[in-house]
Amino acid sequence: MHVLLVNTNRMRPPTAPLALDYIGSALEPHGHDVDLLDLCLEPDAEGATRNALAASSFDLVALTFRNTDGIQTI
């Protein structure tokens, strides 16, 4: 199975999509081909998504959503 994992978080400061890394790491040993699209780092999220979907045929696209509270820095 070819899987695309998408980090939809666009908040700043950026945070690593750790949960998607865990999921990808769990899928790969079972023969799944996993790609990660981190929209937090993309200046054009819509274009990057369109390009990723056009570049390959995925069997599954999974999205992650961050909670809605802001990150408070000191």
For 12-33, what is each residue's pLDDT tens digit? 777 778 889 999 999 999 999 9
**Are 10 and 67 a contacting pair, CB within 8 Å?**
no
Q: What is the mean pLDDT of residues 29-53?
A: 94
Please report which confidence band the pLDDT of residue 53 belongs to, taking 50, 70 and 90 as the band edges. very high
Please give the pLDDT value at position 67.
63
3-state secondary structure 48-64: HHHHHHHHCCCCEEEEE
**What is the rounded CA–CA span in Å between residue 49 and residue 69?**
24
Fill in the DSSP letter of residue 40. Answer: G
pTM of the predicted model as reported, rounded to 2 decimal places:
0.81
Domains of the chain with bracketed CATH: 2-64 (3.40.50)
